A and B are shown apart, each in its own frame.
Chain A
Amino acid sequence: MRPASLSQGATRTILEAMDDSLTLTVNGEPRGFPGPLTVASLLAAIGLDTRKVAVERNEEIVPRSRYAETALLSGDQLEIVHFIGGG
């Protein structure tokens, strides 16, 4: 333990509290977003039709009915998927 220095995560949390931004991993890509953010506002920011996608947050399904109430935190891993052609 090095009590004099902050962990990377703690530093990030403090910086984010200051500038209100979030770093998420969306479909494998790290991306920054202005916070605060919910699943619903993330999908709107990306420009996706919520009726045609499904969202997984940290390997847990987020039901469509809870998009608006599911707040996102920095470091969250999100998968946003849809149906494509397949056999």
Chain B
Amino acid sequence: MDGTVAPALDEGWTVAGRNFRSRLVVGTGKYKDLEETAAAIEASGAEMVTVAVRRVNLSDPKAPMLQDFVDPKKYTYLPNTAGCHTAKDAVRTLRLAREAGGWNLVKLEVLGPPPHLYPDMAATYEAAEALIKDGFEVMVYCSDDPIGAKRLEEMGCVAIMPLGAPIGSGLGVQNPAMISMLIEQAKVPLLVDAGVGTASDAAIAMELGCTAVLVNSAIAHAKDPIRMARAMKAAVEAGRHSFLAGRMPRRMGADPSSPLTGLIR
């Protein structure tokens, strides 16, 4: 032995039959431009990226497109339904996404109104049912409601993605106890999908034992998005190792780290 310790390998994770090494999923929105988007995604080490579906700008048909900067052959595109407030709009949007990209794996989110943009669970069930029936593999954004999450899982959703805090709020994981309970009961991957504001928030989510974390605003709205992307990568890895390592028990008092025997007198 040369004295070095072999790095403990992460086993990676699987959703809908696809394997991923990185436990960080990143959004592609809110960046300054497409060059910055591409650089931040590269730095994050993410293999799966969320994307939105929108009307083409007819007055500028030759404008650069996301695919020119973020190669769909290199990254798994996860089309979302951001901006959809009804099940019908969400289903319509993802049918277009499937035609545009040929992907069945999608992120369903049906949201209530601002200022909370909280998941509309009734509309989410309706959309999930229609999408699953239509052959989609649905990763679903949802509230931190164990009954609702179970129902979505039993309907056939391939991943459960509760919020840690409202979308874009950067408030961190506000509900660690509920997230832990959702993780405990989930038989499919569980991702914390919203609310991460900085690297330690992502580490906290991973330490709770979730499968992966989805981050967009915390990277895109950092002063230096590329550096924050690196920080998120490190935090997710640290959080995963920390979870696997198993934290020490908390105690209500001090416990000296140095032996009390052999002290000089």
Task: List the interface of chain A (C-beta within 8 A of B).
Answer: 26-29, 31, 46-49, 52-56, 59, 61-64, 79-87
- Determine if A86 and B58 form an interchain contact, defined as CB atoms under 8 angstroms apart: no
Give how many A-B residue pairs fall within 8 Å (CB-CB). Answer: 103
Residues of chain A with a CB closer than 8 A to B92's CB: 56, 59
Give chain A nearest CB distance to B103 CB in angstroms. Answer: 10
- Determine if B30 and A87 form an interchain contact, defined as CB atoms under 8 angstroms apart: yes
Q: Which listed residue (A62, A79, A86, A87) contacts B55, Cβ 8 A? A: A79
- A64 and B100 CA atoms in complex are apart in Å by 9
- A85 and B55 CA atoms in complex are apart in Å by 13
- A82 and B69 CA atoms in complex are apart in Å by 14
- A61 and B93 CA atoms in complex are apart in Å by 10
Residues of chain B with a CB closer than 8 A to A61's CB: 95-96, 99
- A58 and B213 CA atoms in complex are apart in Å by 38
Binding-face segment, B76-84, B118-126, B172-180, B257-265: B76-84
Binding-face segment, B45-53, B151-159, B232-240: B45-53
Give chain A nearest CB distance to B90 CB in angstroms. Answer: 13
Closest to A59 in B: B92
Using known A-B contacts A83-B65, A86-B80, A87-B167, determine if residue A53 contacts B27 with beta carbons closer than 8 Å. no
Using known A-B contacts A61-B99, A83-B52, A87-B50, determine if residue A48 contacts B28 with beta carbons closer than 8 Å. no
Q: Interface residues of B toward A: which range?
A: 35 or more
- Determine if A87 and B99 form an interchain contact, defined as CB atoms under 8 angstroms apart: no
Residues of chain A with a CB closer than 8 A to B77's CB: 83
Give chain B nearest CB distance to A45 CB in angstroms. Answer: 10
Q: Which listed residue (A31, A81, A85) contacts B31, Cβ 8 A? A: A85
What mask results when residues 51 to 63 of chain B are scored 1 for a CB within 8 Å of chain A, else 0?
1111110100110
Using known A-B contacts A48-B61, A54-B96, A81-B55, determine if residue A87 contacts B67 with beta carbons closer than 8 Å. no
B29 CB–A CB distance under 8 Å: yes
- Determine if A47 and B27 form an interchain contact, defined as CB atoms under 8 angstroms apart: no
Residues of chain A with a CB closer than 8 A to B55's CB: 27-28, 79-81
- Determine if B80 and A83 form an interchain contact, defined as CB atoms under 8 angstroms apart: no
Residues of chain B with a CB closer than 8 A to A47's CB: 61-62
| 12 A-B residue pairs with CB within 8 Å | A49-B65, A52-B100, A54-B100, A81-B96, A82-B100, A83-B67, A84-B29, A84-B54, A84-B66, A85-B37, A86-B82, A87-B28
